[in-house]
Chain A
Amino acid sequence: MTTLDKPASVALPDEPPGPADRPVRRELGVANVLSHGFLLFWGALTVLPLLWMFISSFKSNAEILADPWSLPGALRFDNWSRAWSGAHIGQYFLNSLVVVAGSVTLTMLMGATAAYVFARYEFRGKQVVYYLFVGGLMFPVFLALVPLFFVVRNAGLFGTWTGLILVYAAYSLPFTVFFLTAFFRTLPTAVAEAALVDGCGHFRLFFQVMLPMARPGLISVAIFNFLSHWNQFLLPQVLMQGDESKWVLAQGLAALSVNQGYAGDYAQLFAGLTIAVVPVLLVYILFQRQVQSGLTAGQLK
C-alpha cells in the first residue's frame, strides 16, 4: 500500500487539481452508460430463460412450436393443471415437502445439539469427533454413492422417505455442525453461567436460553439446508428408484422432460418447471439477505 504514503499533490498530470470536477464527471457519464449496459445485458441473460419458461407455460403447443418469442394468445391455465395432476407434479411437490420438512427438522435438531456440545463443553476425544464431522465437508458424495446404496438397502430403507430423510440429514451435518459450532462459541458465556448459578439444568439451559439466542444462525443454516435438500437430485435418483408415487420433485421433472420428448407436450413441461420454480423464487425474494449469506457461507467454508 505504498500509494497511501504519496502526498495528494502528486496527482496524474492529465487531471489538474483545480477544475477537475467537470472532466471527471464526463468520464463518469460514459463509464456509467457502459457499466449499465453490461449489467443490463447479464441481467437479461439471467432473466430471459426464466421469463420464457413462465410465458411458455401459458401457451399452446402449437404456439410454442410456431414462434418461441411470441406471447401467448390466451392464458391457458390448463397447462398448469395438466402438469399438476396429469404429470403428478403436484404429488411430487408434496412428496418433496414431506421429505424436506423431515430432513431439515432432523438436520437442525441433530446439528444444533452436536454443535452446542462442541462449542460449550469439554470432554475427552472432542477434537477427534469434531474433525470427523467437519472432514465430511471435503469429500465428493460420488465416492460414497455405491456403498451408500447398499447401506440404505440393508437397513431396509431403500425407496422410502425415511431413508432419504436420514441420508439428507447425515450429509448436511458437516456444514451444519461446522457453522453452528462457530456460532454457539460467539454467544456470551456470562449468560449461561448466570443461568446455571440460578439453578437452571443443562438441558433447560440449552432449550430455553442458548437456542433462542442462536436464532439468527439457526435461521441462516435452516434456509441453506432447505434449499439444498429441496434441490437434491443425485441422492433420490440413487436411493428412490422404482415406486414412482414416492418420487421427489426433481425426479418428477426429469421424467416429465423425457416423456415430453415422446408426447410433444411442451406446454406441460414448461408449466411443470414453473410450478417448481415459483415457490423457491418467492422464498428467495422474501429472505434474500439470509439466503445470500447462508449460501455464500455454506458453499465456501
Chain B
Amino acid sequence: MRHGKYPLIVTFLVPPVLLYVIFVVSPYLQAFQISTTDWLGYSADANSVGLANFKTLWNDDYVWNALKNNAILLALVPVLTIVLGLFFAAMLNMGGRKGRAGVSGVRGSSFYRTVYFFPQVLSVVIIALLWKEVYHPNKGLLTSALNSVGLGAPTWLGDPRTAFWCVLAVMIWSNVGFYVVLFGAAMSAIPKEIYEAVMLDGASRLTTLWKVTIPLLWDTVQVAWVYLAIFALDGFILVQLMTNGGPNFSTDVIGVRMYDTAFGSETKFGYASAIGVVMFFLTLTVAVLALRASKRDRIEYS
C-alpha cells in the first residue's frame, strides 16, 4: 500500500469533502452568525444586533406556546411509542412457547412485522395528507364510524381542544412499527439458553419479559429514546401539512415557528436563525439528558 496511494486519496476524498463543506458545514456555521443580525432576507444589509434576537425570543409568547407543545410531545411520544413497540415486539418474538423449552414468535410474526413497518417507508407527506382525510369532519373514516354507532364526533383537527392529540396520535402511529422491528431484532439476539433456564425456573411470561428481556434490551431502548426525543422536537412536516399550527395555534411547534418566520409573509432570517440556534441547543441538551438518564450497566452476551 505504499506506492501511489496519494493520487487515490486525493481523487477520492476531495470531491466529497468539498461538497460537504459547501452545503453542510458552511450553512451550519453561518446560521450562528446570522442569528446575531437583524437580516430581513433579500436586501444586502444585515446589522449585527448581538443577542437582541434571543432577547425577543424570550418574550415571544408564540415561541413559548410552540415550545410548550414540543414539551408535551417530548414527554408523551417517546414513552408511548417505546411501550407499544416493546409490547408488540414481545408479542411477536416471545408470544409463542414451544413446549417447555424456550420461546418463539407467534405464528405469522414475520407477516405482522412487514405490515407494521408500512408507515416507515411512506413519506411523512403522504402520512400527513392521508390522516388529514381520515380526520375529515364530513367524509373521514373516524367521523362516519362514530356516527354510524350513534355517537357524535368532534371536528378533530378543526377543534383546538382535539387537534393536538390528533397530531400526536399520528406521530405514534407512524413510529411504532419501526420500533417493533428494532426491538424485535434486539430480542432475537438474546441467546435462547437464557430463556430456557428462566423457564425451567418456572418464571411466567410477564416476569420473563420484565426481568430478562427488557433489561437485556436496555441499550436499544436508550437509543430509541434519543431518536424519539429528537423526533418530538421536530414534528414540522406533519404539523405543517395537517394543521399548519392551527386552529388558534393549538398545534404549533417550534419547527413551524421557524419556517414561518423565515419563509412566511415576512422573511426575518436573523430571527429565524435564532430560533434555529435554540432548537440546536435544545436537541443537543435533550439527547445528552436522555443518554444520561437511561444510563445503565452494559450487558454483553459472551
Decide whether A and B assemble into one complex: yes
* Contact across chains for B129 and A173 when beta carbons are under 8 A apart: no
* Contact across chains for B106 and A32 when beta carbons are under 8 A apart: yes
Pick the residue among B27, B141, B227, B277 that contacts A69 (CB under 8 A): B141
Cα–Cα, bound, A38→B125 (Å): 28
Please judge, given known A-B contacts A110-B15, A145-B262, A234-B237, whether A257 and B27 are in contact too, CB under 8 Å.
Answer: no
Tell me which residues across on chain B come within 8 A of A202, comparing CB atoms.
Answer: 1, 4-5, 7-8
Tell me which residues across on chain A come within 8 A of B27, comparing CB atoms.
Answer: 143-148, 151
Q: Is A98 engaged at the interface, CB distance under 8 Å to the other chain?
A: no
* Contact across chains for A253 and B211 when beta carbons are under 8 A apart: no
Tell me which residues across on chain B come within 8 A of A18, comparing CB atoms.
Answer: none
Task: Scan residues 247-296 of chain B and give those whose CB is less than 8 A from a CB of chain A.
Answer: 255, 258-259, 262-263, 269, 272-273, 276-277, 279-280, 283-284, 287
Q: What is the predominant secondary structure among interface residues of chain A facing chain B?
A: helix
* Contact across chains for B241 and A254 when beta carbons are under 8 A apart: yes
* Contact across chains for A206 and B202 when beta carbons are under 8 A apart: no
* Contact across chains for B280 and A140 when beta carbons are under 8 A apart: yes
Q: Is A227 engaged at the interface, CB distance under 8 Å to the other chain?
A: yes
Task: Scan residues 48-78 of chain B and give those whose CB is less than 8 A from a CB of chain A.
Answer: none
Cα–Cα, bound, A277→B202 (Å): 47
- How near does chain B come to A188, taking the closest CB pair, in angstroms? 14
Q: Is B28 engaged at the interface, CB distance under 8 Å to the other chain?
A: yes
Cα–Cα, bound, A196→B1 (Å): 7
* Contact across chains for A231 and B130 when beta carbons are under 8 A apart: no
| B97: nearest chain-A partner, CB-CB | A28
Cα–Cα, bound, A253→B280 (Å): 30
Tell me which residues across on chain B come within 8 A of A280, comparing CB atoms.
Answer: 121-123
Cα–Cα, bound, A269→B273 (Å): 35
- How near does chain A come to B245, taking the closest CB pair, in angstroms? 15
* Contact across chains for A113 and B12 when beta carbons are under 8 A apart: yes
* Contact across chains for B100 and A20 when beta carbons are under 8 A apart: yes
- How near does chain B come to A205, taking the closest CB pair, in angstroms? 9
* Contact across chains for A143 and B28 when beta carbons are under 8 A apart: yes
Q: Is A111 engaged at the interface, CB distance under 8 Å to the other chain?
A: yes
Please judge, given known A-B contacts A129-B17, A145-B262, A231-B123, whether A296 and B182 are in contact too, CB under 8 Å.
Answer: yes
Q: Is B166 engaged at the interface, CB distance under 8 Å to the other chain?
A: no
Pick the residue among A69, A129, A166, A295 that contacts B13 (CB under 8 A): A129
- How near does chain A come to B172, taking the closest CB pair, in angstroms? 10
Please judge, given known A-B contacts A48-B141, A257-B132, whether A151 and B23 are in contact too, CB under 8 Å.
Answer: yes
Please judge, given known A-B contacts A69-B145, A139-B28, A143-B276, whether A50 and B19 are in contact too, CB under 8 Å.
Answer: no
Q: Is B187 engaged at the interface, CB distance under 8 Å to the other chain?
A: no
* Contact across chains for A10 and B5 when beta carbons are under 8 A apart: no
* Contact across chains for B106 and A114 when beta carbons are under 8 A apart: no
Cα–Cα, bound, A300→B269 (Å): 31
| B30: nearest chain-A partner, CB-CB | A147
Task: Type the 1/0 row for B92-133, where 1 means its CB is closer than 8 Å to any CB of A.
Answer: 100111011000001000001111111111111110011111
Cα–Cα, bound, A283→B212 (Å): 36
Q: Is A94 engaged at the interface, CB distance under 8 Å to the other chain?
A: no
Task: Type the 1/0 row for A148-171, where 1 means its CB is closer than 8 Å to any CB of B.
Answer: 111110010000000000110111
- How near does chain A come to B2, taking the closest CB pair, in angstroms? 9
* Contact across chains for B117 and A146 when beta carbons are under 8 A apart: no
Tell me which residues across on chain A come within 8 A of B164, comparing CB atoms.
Answer: none
| B132: nearest chain-A partner, CB-CB | A257
Task: Type the 1/0 row for A14-42, where 1 means its CB is closer than 8 Å to any CB of B.
Answer: 01000011001000100110011011001
* Contact across chains for B28 and A144 when beta carbons are under 8 A apart: yes
Tell me which residues across on chain A come within 8 A of B280, comparing CB atoms.
Answer: 139-140, 142-143
* Contact across chains for A50 and B118 when beta carbons are under 8 A apart: yes
What are 18 of the A-B contact pairs (CB < 8 Å)? Answer: A1-B194, A3-B212, A8-B201, A12-B202, A39-B92, A46-B177, A49-B131, A50-B130, A68-B144, A138-B287, A143-B27, A143-B277, A145-B259, A146-B272, A147-B273, A227-B121, A231-B125, A250-B123
For the A-B complex with A24-B97, A69-B148, A145-B262 known, give 8 more contacts whose Cβ atoms are closer than 8 Å. A1-B194, A3-B201, A8-B200, A12-B203, A28-B96, A39-B106, A142-B279, A147-B27
